[in-house]
Structure 1
Amino acid sequence: MTILSLISEQAPIEGQKYVQLETLFQQAISEGTLEPGEKLPPLRIAAWNAKCSLGTMSRVYTSLERKGLVVAEVGRGTFVQEKSKIGADIILPSPRTIEATSKSNDVGYIDLGMNAIANDWGENLIRWALKRAAEKASSLTLMTYRDGFGDPSQKLAMRQFLPASLQDISNERIVITHGAQNGIFTALSRLTSPGDNVCIEPLSYPGISAALSQAGLSSITVKTDDQGICPKSFEKLCIEGRIRILVTTATGHNPTCITTPLSRRNEIGILAERHNVLIIEDDIYGYLYPEAPAPYASLFPNNAIYLTGLAKRITPSLRIGVAVAPPHITMLLAQGITAQTWMVSPILVTAAVEIAGRRDDLTNMPQTVKAQADQRSELTKTMLRGKVKSLDICRSHAWIELPETISAENFVKRAEICGVHVMAGHRFANNSHSGHQNIRLSIMAPKQTSTLETALHKLKAILSTPNEDVYEMF
């Protein structure tokens, strides 16, 4: 049986065709109806056989690609991944990219794909904190099981990593997590049931869709504009009763760089309260925006979860985060952490608490990063402005819309040849029509500004010669 005959016979007549068709393709791949390396039918033919719209089938193919089950090759089509590669390169860089990076110096291969924030103090600080934790941790910390509810004194210290508007909250509203990503997954898995719909933005970092998929949840995208989520679109989804949770990044959005103003946050928050939709706010970059409006958990404390972590602030290896929520929800989050890992590593929590005590550093370090970000933002604008259709920059990355003369897929491949790793916009897309002409550049990832400048020179050359091979110039 071919995939075309399969979808012709089992194509859904009603309901969410996109979800049912994607399931058919997933089963065909797992059962061998679609073999590794096999080319999927052209979109129009597949849509015709499934009796669905071209947009619906395009969404199916895009979702399969984002989950690592298939790979799209420009000019050739979409192919089933080899079994050894299924699931690869969904959130983290591909093994080839990691290997290339590890074998070269910072200038030889430049990674602008992973949204890291290079700093000179992170490594020394984590070494100091771990040493302090080893020296100060009591036998009770080292040799005893704890649960997911956390220690009150640790929660008190961890408030230093929260925005000012949340630093006076009670311990009952705080849960220490394994990081912001763990907080997202724990909240989704504890507060929903498989098959529930979660409202997300058209573009978001891949960890959100990965958490949704792992939890067996479906997503619905809300429309956005240059201020973030559109109230009318969100209200429509709320009235239709199709969503229970909204997941959003309101400050320094990854990848679009949008920071939602206070007036818009109030509009969205009021609608969410009115229709009993819980807001989950990922604020991993919030520490870089002290001037940003208060988070939803401060404006609407009974209807929002705030999540942050130390991966961007200190180092990705410190898998510690903080969740702020209403007390009845923090109980569920704590139970979720207990079910997953029983407890957050006491050693890492102790190290994070030690870092929280260095208040001067926690004030000075973001200021240093902001100064570097301003410098790199101006450099990026100077180098690429006039070569791209649009260029939005925030304090960790840049979001670029390419001219129609070059596709995002082609740009990524040519940049790779030139020794620069960038992320195509479709990797962040949660629907079939977002991000296809965009690129995200992690301008804060290189340790040296001069390294970023080298990368930008190469990218500028690609943009200047869209139909030529430029790698020999370097």
Structure 2
Amino acid sequence: MTNWLPDISSGNGPVYIRVADCIENAITHGVLPPGTKLPPQRNLAYDIGVTIGTVSRAYALVHERGLVAGEVGRGTYVLERSNGKQIEQVDPITQALAGTRGLNTPDAKIRFDTTAAPDIGQGGIIGKLFADISTEHQAEISSYSRNFPTSWFEAGKIWLARNGWIPDIDTVVPTLGAHAGAIAVISAVTSPGDKIVFENLTYTQISRATRLLGRRSVLVDSDEHGMIPDEFERLCQQQHPRLAFLMPTAHNPTLVTMPEARRRAIAAIARRHSVWLIEDDLYGGMTGDENPLMAAIAPERTFVVSSLSKSVTAGVRGGWVACPPHFAQRIKVTHKMTTGGLPFILAETCARLVLDGHALDLRRKAVEEIKAREQIAREALAGFEFNSHPHLPFLWLKLPEPWLSGTFKNAAIGDGVLIDDEDEFKAARMEKVYHRVRVAFSSPKQREDVTAGFMTLRRLLENGSSGYDSHI
């Protein structure tokens, strides 16, 4: 084992990236030759004055860069370079935007890191729709989509409607999924330098994308009922944000659903401080939640975004935004500017899925499959603490001592299961630690793979001490 220590006194970015860059630089220049065992994470953390979690993230990063490999019970070793090729550099900006997931998904792993709709046979339906559309609309497929058929808006009106709230068709905009819709809204109603409110834990693909747009993220605390009104009020008074991104129903990753009283309090604060709201309702139609949408409470300032990705199909990239009055045209323009526009065959396919009744039928089947898989999770993880919902394709698992979120994620990867640590959902750097991981279970093709994945996680949880020591 080497006595080498990284010098993190210089450089930019988070400490874990600086540690990883130091390791990569030492490997590149032969200071750490192939076969060298890196210091145990606990020792290195002590020697350079950082937390074990920081070193764990750094080791995970150099592992993702293909520089090292971990062997259970032996430690982490520098790998040989293949064919003498130069190691591909991953710059800090790219890594920061990518989050904690690897830039390339490892092969032969159980995918518990995606919540896309399960495979329930939708491929055959979509294939037939593609064939029909290709025959009926050859000219439209060969060109750009400039004139949107009314059916695209009607489908969005149907798909977004929930709990008595029905958007006016003139407020609906078809999009390339919920993510693209949210970015179009942020681009339309905020300017570079404006502040966007996110909960401490959130869907960080949006928060990271807002940085690309030159917007700044500000964080607000949440509790077991969602965003805390007093904290939101204080932040509005002090930071003057332009927009807040919310997941009131089935928050990702915590699964919290905000009660009606809390929704009305948040809406009132947003109204007082002229804050726009994006209501991400991706999971709303799956849960059976009966609370009113934020758009029903504050229609003059709420943009509802949703898509088919979680309950019908993620690969077709279909979604919609419902806007406050008089904003649809602006959102349509910013969506085109930020995405390049809607491909006709995708938008037409999504519209037909909804209008022909396929989408609702597929969602029912998806929920039934998810219910069966959530039951597998309950049985496999009995005795451990986690949040789940019978209709939702992920759970929020509390880790027992001595596991850290990043360390457990690395251990799971080593045992063939991909999961998300809590840092993947942090919109900015923070001191708060949750000691949790998100485990999504809709992606594996067979329930047997779901069972195998959960049994692997249970073994890690049960053998915490030995498993932890082998990954630090």
C-alpha displacement of 1:398: 0.3
Q: Which residue pairs with 2:423 in the alignment? A: 426
The percent of aligned pairs where both chains have the same amino acid is 23
The one of 254, 270, 278 equivalent to 1:272 is: 270
3-state secondary structure, aligned to 1:328: coil
CA distance 1:406–1:375, shift in 2 (3 Å): same
Structure 1 counterpart of 2:105: 97
Partner of 1:142: 141
Question: What is the match of residue 11 of structure 1?
Answer: none
Residues 375 and 158 of structure 1, relative CA distance in 2, 3 Å threshold: same
SS in structure 2 at match of 1:232: helix
Measured in 1, the distance between the counterparts of 2:47 and 2:294 equals: 43
Give a deviation string over 1:15-59, Cα, whole Å, max 9, x none.
xxxxxxxxx549xx99xxx778359x9899999xxxxxx9xxx9x
Evaluate the alpha carbon distance shift between residue 380 and residue 5 of structure 1 in structure 2; reply closer, same or farther with a 3 A threshold: closer
Q: Which residue of 1 aligns with 2:378?
A: 381
Which residue of structure 2 aligns with residue 403 of structure 1? 400
Aligned match of 1:393 in 363, 367, 388? 388
CA distance in 1, matches of 2:395, 2:236: 32
Q: CA deviation at 1:193?
A: 1.6
Cα deviation for residue 297 of structure 1 reads 1.8
| Residue aligning to 1:371 | 368
Q: How far 1:160 moved relative to its partner?
A: 2.6
Residues 150, 175 of structure 1: 8 Å contact kept: no
- CA contact 2:156–2:172 (8 Å) conserved in 1: no
Which residue in 1 is equivalent to 2:117? 117
Deviation digits for residues 331-356 of structure 1 (CA, Å, limit 9, x no counterpart): 22112123234531111111112212
Are residue 254 (structure 1) and residue 252 (structure 2) matched? Answer: yes
Q: Residue 350 of structure 2 corresponds to which residue in structure 1?
A: 352
What RMSD, in angstroms, separates the aligned Cα atoms of the two structures? 3.6
CA contact 2:154–2:169 (8 Å) conserved in 1: yes
Q: In the aligned structure 2, how far is the partner of 1:163 from the partner of 1:44?
A: 57
Q: Which sits farther off after the overlay, 185-194 or 247-256?
A: 185-194
Who is 1:337 aligned against? Answer: 335
After superposition, residues 16-415 of structure 1 pair within 5 angstroms as 25=13, 37=24, 83-84=89-90, 87=94, 90=98, 93-94=101-102, 97-98=105-106, 100-101=107-108, 109-137=109-137, 139=139, 141-147=140-146, 150-165=148-163, 168-359=166-357, 361-386=358-383, 388=384, 390-394=385-389, 395-415=392-412
- Preserved CA contact (<8 Å) 2:156 2:173: no
Structure 1 segments unaligned to the other structure (5+ residues): 7-23, 48-53, 102-108
C-alpha distance in structure 2 between counterparts of 1:4 and 1:92, whole Å: 23
Q: Which amino acid aligns with 1:142?
A: I
State the alpha-carbon separation in 1 of the partners of residues 45 and 407 from structure 2: 20
Deviations 1:431-452 (CA, angstroms, capped at 9, x unpaired): 4134551111002222222221
Q: Is the 8 A contact 1:424 1:436 kept in 2?
A: no
Q: In structure 2, the residue corresponding to 1:327 is in which secondary structure? A: coil
Structure 1 pair 304–166 and aligned structure 2 pair: CA distance change class (3 A): farther
Deviations 1:107-139 (A, max 9, x none): xx3111122231322212221221121122263
Return the TM-score normalized by structure 1: 0.77
Query: In the alignment, residue 369 of structure 2 is paired with which amino acid?
Result: Q
Per-residue displacement from partner, 1:236-264 (whole Å, max 9, x unpaired)? 11222431110011111111111112221
**SS of the residue aligned with 1:447?**
coil
Do 1:426 and 1:436's aligned partners in 2 also have CA atoms closer than 8 Å?
A: no
Change (3 A) 1:155 1:5: closer
**Which segment is superposed worse, 167-176 or 255-264?**
167-176
* Kept after mapping to 2: 8 A contact 1:165/1:298: no
Question: In structure 2, how many angstroms separate the alpha carbons of the residues matched to 1:339 and 1:174?
Answer: 18
Give the aligned residue type for 1:427. E
2-structure distance, mates of 1:463, 1:258: 24
Q: For the residues of structure 1 that align with 2:423 and 2:402, how far apart are their CA atoms?
A: 17
CA distance in 1, matches of 2:49, 2:110: 39
Distance 1:325 1:97, change over 3 A: same
Q: Residues 377, 277 of structure 1: CA spacing in aligned structure 2 closer, same or farther, 3 A cutoff?
A: same
CA distance in 2, matches of 1:363, 1:341: 27
Are the aligned partners of 2:308 and 2:317 in contact in 1 as well (CA < 8 Å)? Answer: yes
Considering Cα pairs closer than 8 Å and 6+ residues apart, tell me whether 1 or 2 has the greater RCO: 2
User: Post-superposition shift, 1:367?
Assistant: 2.6
How far apart are 1:3 and its partner, in Å? 7.3
1:106 maps to which residue?
A: none
Structure 2: runs of 5 or more not aligned: 1-6, 27-43, 77-86
* Deviation (angstroms), 1:143: 4.9
TM-score of the aligned structures, taking structure 2 as reference length: 0.77
